[in-house]
Structure 1
């Protein structure tokens, strides 16, 4: 089945180029040029992914994102913006965006991020969807995370990170492996983003229980491993 993508972008020339590129790649793509129109189209139809510009007339992309995440967490959202400020990126991700790309960008990079976001959002039908390890469980259908019997609220990116670790228990994963699997593109520069999100996830898990489960392997990366009864 063809994936359907909604492009919410006020610069019509950019939106049209994105639409043509996505259609060439086999996606269905529709456009909206204001925040209000974009939110209306989002509510009227079913979408597999949303490309959402931050700076929009009538309603900002951040406000559109807030309204989307107030009702559901499943549909992947990739933010588009001309801003490069780290604070803006963190704000969008904390509000539930799955990814964030700064203009100008290469279309190949955007397509890679779209493929990754869609891969993580695929629904599993008729199969067991719970991932379990020790006192940690994740239901991939509801995206519910439970640690020592307590619900843990994660952003979409934090969820993707923890799910990846949970699918590779006891395996030491390098920062580069995590970045490629969770962010879905080659990252040229430092890998501090992995450390930052590991810290976010650890803090939220420790709120549910003080028992550590994500461990640092100095000079290598991270491993998900129960502290008790492990060597």
Structure 2
């Protein structure tokens, strides 16, 4: 089941639209502030984040920016009552997958969200580094070097390394890794797959920065 994080400070609208999403078969966590949404997102990844734009303290565009720092592939849809073109341009510049007006007919909104859910998110990202292991990932051409020498990894090994380096010093559960790297439904996937790939990474790169957290998962310590 696809998971949606819905952030909107309008209690009535949030409750009504969350019910519509539930009726469409999505699992929905609905919260009234970006701060609450960030807490939930850090605990477990979502297939899509749906956010209002105009909110107190942290608005939708700021939430978008924060989430992109944690996961560059999460689909993000801004749902707003704003008619300001600059708002729309700013969100699109920040790589929102969709920018939708709340006045759009419900059936169109739901279809746009469905399409965004299945789309790929392409976000230009800076190179990733590990100074402790002297590793660099050149994201543009997917080139990995260690101590200045090129290293060849499989696509999933590359994705796993990228995920670790994007989330340094953060505990990552096996379930979270499966959902983020494999985009897998944990209920139908063996979490031991993560252990196997971590072992491969450690061996191929001869690294010690990936710490096993007993009973929890892994953490890249740096």
TM-score (norm 2): 0.53
Q: Distance in 1 between matches of 2:13 and 2:83?
A: 18
Q: Distance in 1 between matches of 2:45 and 2:106?
A: 24
Displacement after TM superposition at 1:145 (Å): 5.5
- The corresponding residue for 2:44 is 45
- The corresponding residue for 2:144 is none
1:20-39 aligned at under 5 Å gives the runs 20-39=19-38
- The corresponding residue for 1:106 is 105
Contact 1:73 1:96 (8 Å CA) reproduced: no
Q: Distance in 1 between matches of 2:106 and 2:49?
A: 16
1:1-231 aligned at under 5 Å gives the runs 2-121=1-120
| Unaligned segments of structure 1, at least 5 residues | 123-143, 147-231
Moved over 6 A (4+): none
After superposition, the C-alpha distances for 1:29-66 in whole angstroms (9 at most, x for unaligned) are 11110121111112122211011111112311111111
| Unaligned segments of structure 2, at least 5 residues | 122-138, 142-222
Displacement after TM superposition at 1:71 (Å): 2.6
Q: Distance in 2 between matches of 1:34 and 1:58?
A: 9
Q: Distance in 1 between matches of 2:31 and 2:19?
A: 14
After superposition, the C-alpha distances for 1:180-199 in whole angstroms (9 at most, x for unaligned) are xxxxxxxxxxxxxxxxxxxx
After superposition, the C-alpha distances for 1:99-123 in whole angstroms (9 at most, x for unaligned) are 101122221111111111111149x
Give the match's secondary structure for 1:70. helix
Give the match's secondary structure for 1:50. strand
Contact 1:32 1:41 (8 Å CA) reproduced: no
TM-score (norm 1): 0.51
Q: Distance in 2 between matches of 1:56 and 1:145?
A: 34
Q: Distance in 1 between matches of 2:101 and 2:14?
A: 15
Aligned residues: 125
Displacement after TM superposition at 1:91 (Å): 0.3
Give the match's secondary structure for 1:105. coil
Q: Distance in 2 between matches of 1:39 and 1:89?
A: 22
Q: Distance in 2 between matches of 1:82 and 1:110?
A: 13
Q: Distance in 1 between matches of 2:29 and 2:70?
A: 22
Instruction: Provide the alpha-carbon RMSD of the alignment.
Output: 1.9
Q: Distance in 1 between matches of 2:36 and 2:56?
A: 10
